[in-house]
Amino acid sequence: MKKLIQTLKNIWGIQELRGKILTTLVLILVFRVCTYITLPGIDPHKLTSLSGAKSGALGLIDAFSGGAFLQASIVALGIMPYISASIFMQLMTILVPQMQKVQKEGESGRKKINQWTRYLTVIVTFVQAYAYVTYLKTMAKEAVIDSYSAYLWITTPIVLTAGTLFVMWLGEKITDKGLGNGTSLIIMIGILARFPNAFRSELIGKLAIGSGGILIFIIEIAILIAIIMGLIVLIQGVRKVPVNYAKQIVGNKQFGGARQFLPLKVNSAGVMPIIFAQAIMFLPTLVSYTSFENKEGFVRVFSDPKDYLHMLIYAVIVIFFTFLYTALIFNPKQIAEDLKRSNGFIPGVKPGQPTADFIGSIMDKITLPGAFLLAIIGILPGFAQRLNVTQSFASFFGGTSLLIMVGVILDTLQQIETQLLMRQYDGLMKSGRIQGRQSSTVSGAII
């Protein structure tokens, strides 16, 4: 405890780090204040009818926006339109040769892609904003002020688009001036904002059962902690492939026969497969939030996380995108060439293409269990709901919410750790190192 207090004092004593923390907190506070500012023409006291949408897909959208979606806030759509546009642009840079050329132009190419991503964000936000107006007029028509109803179709898309762009700007400012990645932190804060209410609702529900309810609640908390610890292992898990360097030059000194390892992550794709899968499951929301929530049959499956068919589809998509995204970001041939230029080799494997094939096969073997574990984590909230855990609390047992929270917290702690070690202070952990997840860059946004 004494060491923790001293570490906190060291963190606060570093002027640069203190400034970054304060800047981050202020900008996050601004975002949280915006979630409570209601759209023009909406009576906030009559929005209770939207509380029924806290389950299913719309509940997840509300979680990512920090509760702003069901509060009809000016930032109701949050940062998700920007994330959707970023994912689309990243796929285009992979699939379209012309986009690949732009990406290879360096800093100027990156700026062009970021600008195109912003334009696409405006389009996506406008489409979702009109769907949101339909949703409000259908599900919360009593909250719409009659004298303003005709103007809702004009003002709401403009305000929501401006709100999303403002949140995007806040995220960029946090990244530039604050601590951690702004986009990721905004999503994480939005998710964490719901945890106290979810925790209290689950506790009250279990206490209502009787004497056995509190025991069930304790077991749930124990399972949640175990899942979090397992997720940390999954994110930080590294498989070390032995590499012998025949010659290693450090400064002006030469060392022969130095033995090193090539670290390969069990989950190189990070949280991106979950986000891709979630985006696909949310595709019907681009048409209409209302029809997505009310329709039956196959479309309904997409909005019910506890449906077995939903879990199966979701798991298959996660596994597919885990392999796809790993193949896109991990290039065994490039690693083999780097080893060859450094006079390095893997014992028993010829340099060049055989080395690339060997590294690729190792990566496939360790990606397979990682993909299945990621799929299991993705569908755990559905199983939790089937075991009578409330939907709001069940979302913290896995899925995108838990992955983003754990990943972002690890990344932020890693940045603080680096700042401390640079100034010769002890780190936050006894090991002196905190391994963050591998950041997944999406057109300038790291998720």
Number of H-type helices and E-type strands within the chain:
18, 5
Q: Tell me the β-bridge partners of 441.
A: 446
Q: For 106, how many CA atoms within 13 A lie in the half-sphere containing its CB?
A: 0
Would you place residue 445 in the very low, low, confident or very high pLDDT band (cuts 50, 70, 90)?
A: very low
CB 274 within 8 A of CB 400: yes
pLDDT at res. 29: 93
Q: What mean pLDDT is predicted for residues 325-341?
A: 80
Structural domains of the chain sorted by starting position, each given as residue range(s) with its CATH number in brackets: 2-446 (1.10.3370.10)
Give the dihedral sign, CA 407/190/65/164: negative
pLDDT at res. 87: 78
Q: How far apart are CA 242 and CA 262, in angstroms?
A: 6
Would you place residue 251 in the very low, low, confident or very high pLDDT band (cuts 50, 70, 90)?
A: very low
Highest mean pLDDT of the ranges 170-174, 191-195, 281-285, 339-343: 170-174
Q: 136 is written with which tokens?
A: 């409000």
Model-level pTM? 0.73
244 pLDDT exceeds 60?
no
Mean pLDDT taken over the chain: 77
